[in-house]
Amino acid sequence: MQQQVILSCFASTNKGLEQILINELEILGANNLVSVNAGVKFTANIDTIMLANLHSRFASRIMIEIAHGGYCNEEDIYTIARNINWSEWFNVDATIKVSTNAINSPLKSLEFITLRVKDAICDNFMHQQNRRPDVDKRDPDIRVYNFLTSDTVTVYLDTSGEALFKRGYRSTHQEAPLKENLAAGLIKLSGWSATSTPPPPLLDPMCGSGTIIIEALLMALNIAPGLYRKFAFEKFNNFYQNAWDNMKFAAKQAIRKDPNLKIYANDINPKAIIQATQNLQHAKLREYVEFTNLDFLDVQCPLHSSGGTIITNPPYGVRLNELDELASLYPKIASHLKNNFAGWNCYFFTADLRLPKLFRLKPSRKIPLFNGALDCRFYEFKMVSGSNR
């Protein structure tokens, strides 16, 4: 791995977050940024790639393109992968995992492509060193991704390891949490920022495991989301430990302290409050959050503030009885907001596209976003003083 070589890269993200990821990667030093479906192509040197892994709040994974070519059949793909100088990137002792994705590929089995690229890597090492790397499908050191179109294949080397939304603060299995990079994206899109003094109040009245409030705190205190986790590039050959230590040291120095910062969180379910509290404790951010354990309809405006931001992710209403419950809950939430949160900007992220109609309010913004394959919207409602009359 040569430090100053300019590499072609791809950062994957949630569909709908491409533009804010472009802005973020540009600030981190990436060039030639191009938005594609659920990702961003860019060029960068290895230092910028390490920085992006450490600091990106919106990317899911960052990969280096190590080969690209046309193909007619499986053996063409094998040849492209066989010709990569794999030992330039990693050691034969590293464990590997290969995966394949395709759009419009005429080839019958993606599993077979995966197998052939794995063979190509092993044959390459056998030829050079008479040894081959082991496969580890669960927790590999090195991940290789093949992406096929109808007639081209791109081979990517993953630099992230575990997906970047795994920040390391969520420990136990939790029910339907938002992905961390999506939650960070919602906060960015809302425009909430804690850098003004005093920080504007932020409330998540249906906080679940607390992803939105934790991501908001990481942003407000300028805590790099990757500070306390490992990355795949640490297993690359010629990994520059010193450069990496310096980046982490600089990120630690840049953390803000803000004794005035308070974020408000509520959930009707006491178990959710326990989970959110545990996650906050792991992230060492418990002191910044004030919890209530109430129905949304009983949540009062924090500090009787005349302005603030609500960002929340209500239940999706995937089950039938849930849909009925939500249909009767939404109008009550809308009148509660009108009566108690005048002057607040309220954001709802949901897959339930009936929400504005049931609120009987016109959203001032409506941003299409995907949660995995689920078509969602991020609605903005501005609660104008006296709008209920």
CB of 208 to ligand SAM, least distance (A): 3
Name which of 5, 2, 63 is nearest 240 in CA terms: 2
88 residue type, one letter: E
Task: Please tell me whether residue 221 adopts helix, strand or coil conformation.
Answer: coil
- How far is it, in rounded angstroms, from Cα 182 to Cα 15? 9
Identify the residue among 124, 209, 292, 345 touching ligand SAM (CB under 6 A).
209
Contact indicator for 143, 12 with CB cutoff of 8 Å:
no
As beta bridge partners, residue 346 has: 310, 381
Element at 99 (helix H, strand E): strand 96-102
Q: Does 180 bind ligand SAM (CB under 6 A)?
A: no
Closest CB to ligand SAM among residues 24, 267: 267
With CB under 6 A, what is the number of residues at the site for ligand SAM? Answer: 19
CB of 105 to ligand SAM, least distance (A): 35
Q: Does 211 bind ligand SAM (CB under 6 A)?
A: yes
- Binding letters toward ligand SAM, positions 218-257, x by CB under 6 A: ----------------------------------------
- How far is it, in rounded angstroms, from Cα 187 to Cα 245? 29
CB of 181 to ligand SAM, least distance (A): 12
Identify the residue among 269, 339, 385, 387 touching ligand SAM (CB under 6 A).
269
Q: Does 315 bind ligand SAM (CB under 6 A)?
A: yes
Q: Does 358 bind ligand SAM (CB under 6 A)?
A: no
- How far is it, in rounded angstroms, from Cα 153 to Cα 146? 7
CB of 326 to ligand SAM, least distance (A): 9
CA distances from 217 to 127, 166, 199 (A): 51, 16, 11
Residue ranges binding ligand SAM (CB under 6 A): 176-178, 205-206, 208-209, 211-212, 267-269, 272, 295-296, 313-315, 329
